[in-house]
Structure 1
Amino acid sequence: MNTEVSTNYTQTEVIHRLLQLGLSSGGSFAIWRKPKSNVLEMVLDNNSSPSKVPINLEELEPGFIVHPFADQADKKAFFIKANNYLKLQLDGEIGQDDLPEWAKIRLENESPISPEDLKSLLSAQKKSNKENSKDESGDKLHFMNLVELGVQAILDGKMEKVVPARTKTISTPENFNLSSTLLSLMNSYPFAFINFFHIPQIGTWIGASPEILIETKGDIFYTMSLAGTQAATGDNPLKTVAWTQKEIEEQALVSRYIVSCFKKIRLREYEEHGPKTAIAGNLLHLRSDFKINMRETGFPTLGSIMLDLLHPTSAVCGMPRKESHEFLQAYEGFDRSFYAGFIGPVNIQEETSIYVNLRTASLSEKQVILYAGAGVTEDSDPEKEWEETELKCEIIGKFIQNPSA
Structure 2
Amino acid sequence: MTTVQEHPATRGAAAGTIGAATALLDAYRSGTDRFFASPTRTLLARGVHAPVADGERPLPDRVQDALAAAHAAGVPDPLVIGAIPFAPAAPSALVVPAGLRRAPALAADPLTALPAPRPEPAAWSVHPVPAPERYAEAVEAAVARMTAGGLRKVVLARALDLTGGRAPDVPAMLQRLARGDARGYTFAVPTPDGTTLLGASPELLVSRRGTTLVANPLAGSAPRSDDLAEDVRRAAALLQSAKDLHEHAVVVDAMRAVLAPYCAALDVPDKPTLVRTATMWHLSTTLTGTLAEPSLSALDLACALHPTPAVCGAPTALAREVIGELEPFDRHLYTGMVGWGDSRGDGEWVVTIRCAEASERGLRLYAGAGVVPSSDPAAETAETGAKFRTFLDAVGAAL
Same fold (TM over 0.5): yes
1:84 is aligned to 2:84: no
* Deviation for aligned residue 1:171: 2.0
* Deviation for aligned residue 1:308: 2.7
TM-score normalised by the chain length of structure 2: 0.77
* Deviation for aligned residue 1:201: 3.2
- One-letter amino acid of the structure 2 residue matched with residue 163 of structure 1: V
2:138 and 2:326 in contact (8 A); partners too: yes
Among 249, 254, 264, the alignment partner of 1:252 is 249
1:30 is aligned to 2:23: no
1:151 and 1:380 in contact (8 A); partners too: yes
* Deviation for aligned residue 1:71: 1.2
* Deviation for aligned residue 1:174: 4.4
Q: Partners in 2 of 1:201 and 1:284 — Cα distance?
A: 33
How many equivalent pairs are there? 346
Worse-superposed segment, 40-49 or 198-207: 40-49
TM-score normalised by the chain length of structure 1: 0.76
1:18 is aligned to 2:28: yes
Q: Partners in 2 of 1:208 and 1:31 — Cα distance?
A: 11
- One-letter amino acid of the structure 1 residue matched with residue 44 of structure 2: M
- One-letter amino acid of the structure 1 residue matched with residue 285 of structure 2: S
Question: Percent identity of the aligned residues?
Answer: 23
Residue 259 of structure 1 aligns to a residue in which SS? helix
Equivalent in the alignment of 1:101: none
* Deviation for aligned residue 1:231: 1.2
Q: Partners in 1 of 2:388 and 2:25 — Cα distance?
A: 24
Which runs of 5 or more structure 1 residues have no equivalent in the other structure? 1-8, 95-114, 117-131
1:138 and 1:169 in contact (8 A); partners too: no
**What does 1:165-314 correspond to in 2, within 5 Å?**
165-172=157-164, 174=166, 176-233=168-225, 234-235=227-228, 237=231, 241-243=236-238, 244-262=241-259, 265=261, 267=263, 269-273=265-269, 274-294=271-291, 297-301=292-296, 303-314=298-309
Residue 285 of structure 2 aligns to a residue in which SS? strand
Q: Partners in 1 of 2:369 and 2:296 — Cα distance?
A: 32
Equivalent in the alignment of 1:111: none
- Change in 2 beyond 3 A, CA 1:289/1:184: same
* Deviation for aligned residue 1:267: 4.5
Q: Partners in 1 of 2:280 and 2:391 — Cα distance?
A: 12
- Change in 2 beyond 3 A, CA 1:151/1:213: same
- One-letter amino acid of the structure 2 residue matched with residue 275 of structure 1: P
- One-letter amino acid of the structure 2 residue matched with residue 67 of structure 1: I
CA RMSD of aligned residues (A): 3.3
2:167 and 2:362 in contact (8 A); partners too: no
- Change in 2 beyond 3 A, CA 1:169/1:320: same
- For the pair shown, the structure with the greater C-alpha radius of gyration is 1
Give a deviation string over 1:254-312, Cα, whole Å, max 9, x none: 0111122135x375620113410111221001111111111xx2353163443233111
**What does 1:1-400 correspond to in 2, within 5 Å?**
15-19=25-29, 23=31, 28-35=32-39, 39-46=41-48, 52=54, 54-56=58-60, 59=64, 61=67, 62-72=79-89, 77-88=92-103, 91=109, 137-172=129-164, 174=166, 176-233=168-225, 234-235=227-228, 237=231, 241-243=236-238, 244-262=241-259, 265=261, 267=263, 269-273=265-269, 274-294=271-291, 297-301=292-296, 303-347=298-342, 351-400=346-395
Worse-superposed segment, 49-58 or 316-325: 49-58
- Change in 2 beyond 3 A, CA 1:229/1:349: same
- Change in 2 beyond 3 A, CA 1:284/1:92: closer
* Deviation for aligned residue 1:48: 9.2
Residue 255 of structure 1 aligns to a residue in which SS? helix
Q: Partners in 2 of 1:261 and 1:48 — Cα distance?
A: 32
Which runs of 5 or more structure 2 residues have no equivalent in the other structure? 1-18, 68-78, 113-118, 121-125
Q: Partners in 2 of 1:64 and 1:315 — Cα distance?
A: 23
